[in-house]
Amino acid sequence: MDDFRRVADAVAADIRAGRLRPGERLPPQRSFARARGIANSTASRVYQELARRGLVTGEVGRGTFVRSAERAATPALAEPTNARVNLELNYPVVPEQGALLASGMERLLRPDALDTALGLVGVGGTADAREAVAGLLSTQGWRPAPSEILFAGNGRQALAGAVAALVPPGGRLGVEALTYPVIKGIASRLGVTLVPIPMDEHGLRPDALADVHERARLAAVYVQPTLQNPYGTTMPWERRAALAAALARLDLHAIEDRVWSFVAADGPAPLASLAARRTVVVDSLSKRLAPGLTLGFAVVPQPLTGRVASALRSGAWAPARFALDAASGWIASGAVEDVGEAKRADAASRQRIAAERLAGAAVRTDPCSYFCWWDLPSPWRADTFVAAAGRRGIAVTPAAAFVVGTAGAPRAVRVGLASPPPETLARALTVLAEIAAGTPEDAEID
């Protein structure tokens, strides 16, 4: 067994036995190396292995800490077992959507239509579906060609197909320094290495992308220009133009995730409008409509269509014909846009609740976003705050879930605003503000 894994196993045993307690700080790596009689490089690998197992978390400028027990066994973004209020998973549902969607089901209940809808369909979908989705995804300044639209069972599968097509096993995919956690799981399964790209208040920095690519070539870059997850912020037009220019200069392709863009109706045009031949756009229906109706879209430049289609087929990620036909009808009838309009109003309302209940907190978000990023006040760390919230029946996501590689996690959490009823959300945010105003010791007493 490798030396670093043997040492990591010993530390893990100390954590399980309670000899190292949640919240306890591990020694600096150099001190750890001296105490264990190992090289500094081996100590670094030990700490990386412990972080990979979810046993410790690193925080910028503060060190490495044993994670709270209730979080250590819970994968990022998995549904908490005891949380009464879930501000981690984030699926918006508005009261009127059931009635809006019910009328569109009547046509599928005819025997001939149902027979067709229960049949098979390929990743190219149908001509009607491609036309409908092209219209749905269109924004001012950009309309995808129906011939460039492919389908998957859900947005994650569309994203996986794009990554598999653009990045070979062992290849490197650039991502925002804090990114959507699902991309980490996809990369791991595909044997792809994620490379964090530094960001600023406007999003991923094109100059940083160039620096990283020149040091070790990237195969592609994954980016969320509109309502970036976890920050909830939107990249301005000027930055998109600079990023498009960098893609051309570096001969790189981008995967543009627009899953949340439907709630930013007046946002800038997609990156794809500036780099059409270099950008694969990924979107889906689960956030737009309902979590139980999944259908993923990939808008793929013609030279890449065959590669992405092949990746979707080989991954068994083709769509269900019933979902495809239902969605096509709802799009054509205007039901999808009506639900989207209701959700835009809902998101704005929930942002107002958050602004009121978290007044004075260091929150980063957008007035139309369904989530926000909260830089916690001292002396809170993300894991201790998440544990304190969990004891009060509230689940939030620690910053470590969004970190790529071995970088330290900020003292922050992401708060999802979409799932609970508004009055429950307001009470939960009030409780979180009360927790943040105290100390970890106070929370332990509570």
Please answer whether residues 416 and 88 qualify as being in contact, where contact means their C-beta atoms are separated by less than 8 angstroms: yes
Where are the alpha helices (H) located in 280-363, listed in sequence order? 302-314, 321-333, 335-357
Say what the pLDDT of residue 70 is.
41
SS3 40: helix
| Residue carrying structure tokens 């991309």 | 183
The tokens for 325 are 């036909």
Q: How far apart are CA 341 and CA 288, in angstroms?
A: 10
Please answer whether residues 130 and 147 qualify as being in contact, where contact means their C-beta atoms are separated by less than 8 angstroms: yes
Where are the alpha helices (H) located in 18-154, listed in sequence order? 29-36, 40-52, 69-72, 97-102, 111-117, 127-137
Tell me the pLDDT of the chain (446 aa) as tens digits: 457 878 988 898 888 777 888 778 899 888 898 999 898 888 888 888 787 777 887 765 668 888 754 444 333 334 444 458 999 988 898 888 888 888 767 777 777 777 776 777 899 999 999 999 999 999 988 999 999 999 999 999 999 999 999 999 999 999 999 999 999 999 999 999 999 999 999 999 999 999 999 999 999 999 999 999 999 999 999 999 999 999 999 999 999 999 999 999 888 999 999 999 999 999 999 899 888 888 999 999 999 999 999 999 999 999 988 889 888 888 988 899 999 999 999 999 999 999 999 999 999 999 999 999 999 999 999 999 999 999 999 999 999 999 997 778 899 999 999 999 999 999 999 999 999 999 887 666 55
Q: How far apart are CA 387 and CA 24, in angstroms?
A: 14
The whole-angstrom distance between residue 189's C-alpha and the CA centroid of its chain comes to 16
Burial of 167 per CB tally in 10 Å (0-12, 13-18, 19+)? buried
Q: How far apart are CA 195 and CA 378, in angstroms?
A: 30
SS3 14: helix
Sign of CA dihedral 289, 290, 294, 296: positive
Where are the alpha helices (H) located in 252-320, listed in sequence order? 302-314
